[in-house]
Amino acid sequence: MNDAPDPQPEIPGDAENTPNEAEIEHTIEVPRRVYQPKPLVAIVGRPNVGKSTLFNRLVGRRVAIVEDTPGITRDRLYADGDWNGREYSLVDTGGIQMFDTDPLVTQIRVQAEIALEEADVIVLVIDTTTGLTADDQELAVALRRSPKPLIVLANKVDNGDMEHRNVPEVYALGLPNVFPVSALGGRGVADALDAIVSFFPPAPEVSDEEIEDDRIKIAIIGRPNVGKSSLLNKIIGEERTIVSPIAGTTRDSIDTAFTFPAANGEREIVLIDTAGIRRAGKIQGSVEYYTVLRAMRAIERADVVMLLIDAHDGLTDGDKRVGGYAHEAGRAAIIVVNKWDLGRQEVLDEMPGRNPMDVFSEELRDGMHFLAYAPLAFTSATTGKGVSAAVEAALDAAEAHTMRIPTGELNRIVRDAVDSHPYNEKGRSLRIKYATMPSVRPPTIVLFVNDPELMHFSYLRYLENRIRESYAYEGTPLRIQVRKAAKEKDEK
């Protein structure tokens, strides 16, 4: 797919009655509960002991990628759980290898250490089928010095005596609160959860008025190795995710909530770092399949996406493909040209005398006309230049994504557009009798016309442009649907 197709209008069945504003079904947006800090439970252990399986078991759905290969989980992965009415947050960490000096392994260990600092309760998982290892023992010694509550799960205790033979070794570590469990089958997990919840601090009182969650969810998307994790770390000012020149380092979609000092006041934001998206023919194995699937789901639940493009590589078919996913999902979007400190100099070397931003902007607009509404931001995640401006643009796009045009104003704009440029086909005139905007996220306009088959996609584009002249809707797509209006009563 080199270019995403132009949006085509949905043409539902005939309307039974002439529409009026009271009869139009509006989308009811259910408010989300306000964010409250919850007790945090960190799951740690060496690689391939079943941490991600336990994580999925506790949150009640397949969130973490599970594969019979060590080292699948790398970054911290967060999700919410509930036990006996007590809500908590859970963090899955990469496998800790205490004696490995590989740079990537070291970063994974640092991420796990950060999770331990944040946690209210620590859960150490040990594989009973292999017995204790040097990494298990060294990690147990380190956790024993922590003042935080510690729960030890002797995992993979399934049926048969073979799996039980190494459980006494776990007890021999001298750590309290040891529970033999099977994360895969669920055996013993309930007892472990009872112990975990018993260490939680008292639950905060939540007012009934605090039901709105107005946090803006921003998904950072793009091809592998364009700098998504580096940008996230620069935005929030800490090493939240692992950064590596190895393409595909990020595998899970990671949520990070923080407060951003926007120009019009502080804004609560949730950043979603995603795995790099490649086309289906290049996806290698089930692990990468699930990472791409999670990235697609991250786009679906975001308010706005930041599409990252590598200034050094220029616009590629992969960039167009990822941008097409966001457009088809109806998300607000901005295009972030990352590594601009390198790309700018390359343009100057190739085209002296030209404005580098103009050159790159022309390339992007020509290659991704379907994202013509998306503003451009030029950043360097390494130096931080342009990063704040990119976040501000994303917040503006998110605001436009929820903007609704009053019905009377919308009908005036459409009527003036039709009067200025009527549309006829085969001797028949297209008549737009009524327009309304039943929903936002994305802004969706419904046109009731005399014959939907007369509506050509080029005329829809003309109407969209006229609407954007009055309401820019910068950063958000407009969806226009066409329906047949009710037949007029016979007139004498």
Q: How is residue 381 annotated by DSSP?
A: T
Of the residues 401, 416, 437, the one at which a domain ends: 401
Asked if residue 44 belongs to a domain, the reply is: yes
Full residue range of the structural domain in which residue 475 is found: 21-28+404-484
Asked if residue 208 belongs to a domain, the reply is: no
56 with 153, same domain: the answer is yes
221 with 189, same domain: the answer is no
- The CATH number that applies at residue 223 is 3.40.50.300
pLDDT given for residue 101 in this prediction: 54
- The CATH number that applies at residue 445 is 3.30.300.20
382 with 419, same domain: the answer is no
Q: Give the Cα separation of 384 and 139 in Å (integer).
A: 36
234 with 188, same domain: the answer is no
383 with 318, same domain: the answer is yes
Tokens read off for 346: 């390359």
Q: Give the Cα separation of 243 and 252 in Å (integer).
A: 14
Residues 6+ apart with CB under 8 A from 201: 39, 120
Of the residues 401, 418, 444, the one at which a domain ends: 401
The domain tally of the chain equals 3
> How far, CA to CA in Å, does 203 sit from each of 60, 88, 420?
22, 10, 62
189 with 61, same domain: the answer is yes
Phi, psi of 348 (to 5 degrees): -60, -40
Residues 6+ apart with CB under 8 A from 427: none
Q: How is residue 162 annotated by DSSP?
A: G
Q: How is residue 329 annotated by DSSP?
A: T
Predicted TM-score (pTM) of this structure: 0.57
Helices (H), 24-158: 51-59, 103-118, 134-144
CB atoms within 10 A of CB 60: 11
397 with 408, same domain: the answer is no
Residue type, 12: P
Of the residues 149, 172, 198, the one at which a domain ends: 198
Note whether 198 and 179 are within 8 A (CB). no
Asked if residue 450 belongs to a domain, the reply is: yes
What is the full per-residue pLDDT of the chain (492 aa) written as tens digits? 344 444 333 323 333 333 443 333 333 333 333 334 578 888 888 888 888 888 888 876 554 434 443 343 334 466 778 888 888 888 777 666 554 555 544 554 555 566 567 778 888 888 888 878 888 888 888 788 778 888 899 888 876 555 566 788 888 888 888 899 888 888 888 999 999 999 988 766 654 444 455 789 998 888 877 888 788 888 887 544 433 333 333 334 457 777 888 888 888 888 886 754 444 444 444 433 444 555 676 787 889 999 999 998 888 887 888 888 889 889 999 999 999 988 888 878 788 888 889 999 999 999 999 999 999 999 998 888 999 999 999 999 999 999 999 999 999 999 999 999 999 887 889 999 999 999 999 999 999 999 999 999 999 999 999 999 999 899 999 999 999 987 654 433
170 with 267, same domain: the answer is no
CB atoms within 10 A of CB 120: 18
439 with 380, same domain: the answer is no
Q: How is residue 475 annotated by DSSP?
A: T
Asked if residue 490 belongs to a domain, the reply is: no
Q: Give the Cα separation of 371 and 3 in Å (integer).
A: 10
Tokens read off for 371: 């994202």
182 with 304, same domain: the answer is no
* Prior bond of 70 cis (ω within 30°): no
Q: How is residue 278 annotated by DSSP?
A: -
Q: Give the Cα separation of 244 and 252 in Å (integer).
A: 15
361 with 249, same domain: the answer is yes
Q: SS3 for 52?
A: helix
Q: How is residue 209 annotated by DSSP?
A: T
249 with 238, same domain: the answer is yes
b or e along 35-53 (b: 16 or more beta carbons within 10 Å of the residue's beta carbon)?
Answer: eeebbbbbbbbbbbbbbbb
Note whether 423 and 396 are within 8 A (CB). no
Tokens read off for 444: 């969706």
pLDDT given for residue 492 in this prediction: 34
Q: Give the Cα separation of 178 and 173 in Å (integer).
A: 10
Q: Give the Cα separation of 357 and 268 in Å (integer).
A: 31
Tokens 């799960």 locate to 153
Identify the helix (H) or strand (E) that includes residue 80: strand 77-83
Residue among 205, 248, 211, 201 nearest 229 (CA)? 248
Asked if residue 326 belongs to a domain, the reply is: yes
Asked if residue 175 belongs to a domain, the reply is: yes
pLDDT given for residue 201 in this prediction: 81
Note whether 303 and 331 are within 8 A (CB). yes
Asked if residue 204 belongs to a domain, the reply is: no
Beta bridge partner(s), residue 44: 124
Asked if residue 149 belongs to a domain, the reply is: yes
